[in-house]
Amino acid sequence: MPHTFFAPDLTAETSTHTLPEDESKHAVRVLRLSAGDAVVLVNGRGGVFEAEVTEAHPKRCQLRITQHEQVPPRPAPIHLAVAPTKNLDRMEWLVEKAVEIGVDRITFLRCARSERRDLKLERLEKIAVSALKQSSQAWLPQMDEMQDFKAFVTGVVPETTFIAHLEEGERTALAQVVDAEAGCCVLIGPEGDFTPDEIGAAFTLGIRPVTLGSSRLRTETAALAAVHTVHVARELGGR
């Protein structure tokens, strides 16, 4: 299978492309690509380009575009809104795996019990790109800067937004409420969970409570389980 490279500036009109110096060095010195070898380029906006190496130079590996396909976005996008953990490694793991499985947007929440109050996206965006290439995805998910929980929930569509919390009360399994034809947003709280006040604010807006199972999950595990659950529920619902 041809190696995949990320080229965000590519459009349908592009006929040639030169890899940046770091990727050129990787392509020629590590992957041992030479003139005539086939590669794949993705722009993160649905564009998938088949290309051929025309000059295998370690500083400016040149490619010729041979074919272009535009992959449509997911008709029912998955939006994950999660409070990041204090340990950033766990968020990096989450972003990598969520992109591999398929997520369209990730928003980071600042909650009352959040251990991390600020977050820089640069490292996470690089991990998302790497996961995009590894999993042969065409669309790079949108990643939002941290937002205060109460401000964020006022901007969502309540009918397709769900809050996974651990407080007592009636909750429905996420798999049972996912609409295969509508986008959805799942809210995942910090390690200490959402506060009763935050849960109440969500309920007041019409956001429904859901459960991801009987186990008490870490934040990043719960977030990944939510993304996977949505995919599985839609696949089963479409049969």
Distance CA 153, CA 161 (A): 9
Q: What does the pLDDT read at residue 187?
A: 98
Query: Average pLDDT for residues 11-21, to the nearest whole number?
Result: 95
Q: Which fold has domain 3-70?
A: Ribosomal Protein L25; Chain P (2.40.240)
Q: What does the pLDDT read at residue 180?
A: 81
Name the pTM for this structure.
Answer: 0.92
Select from 2, 71, 80 the least CA-distant residue to 43.
Answer: 71
Per-residue pLDDT of 174-216, as tens digits, reads 999 998 889 999 999 999 999 999 999 999 999 999 999 888 8
Residue 81 has pLDDT above 50, yes or no: yes
- Domain map (residue ranges) of the chain: 3-70, 78-237
Length of the chain: 239
- CATH number corresponding to 78-237: 3.40.1280.10
| Distant-in-sequence, close-in-space partners of 181: CB < 8 Å, separation ≥ 6 | 75, 76
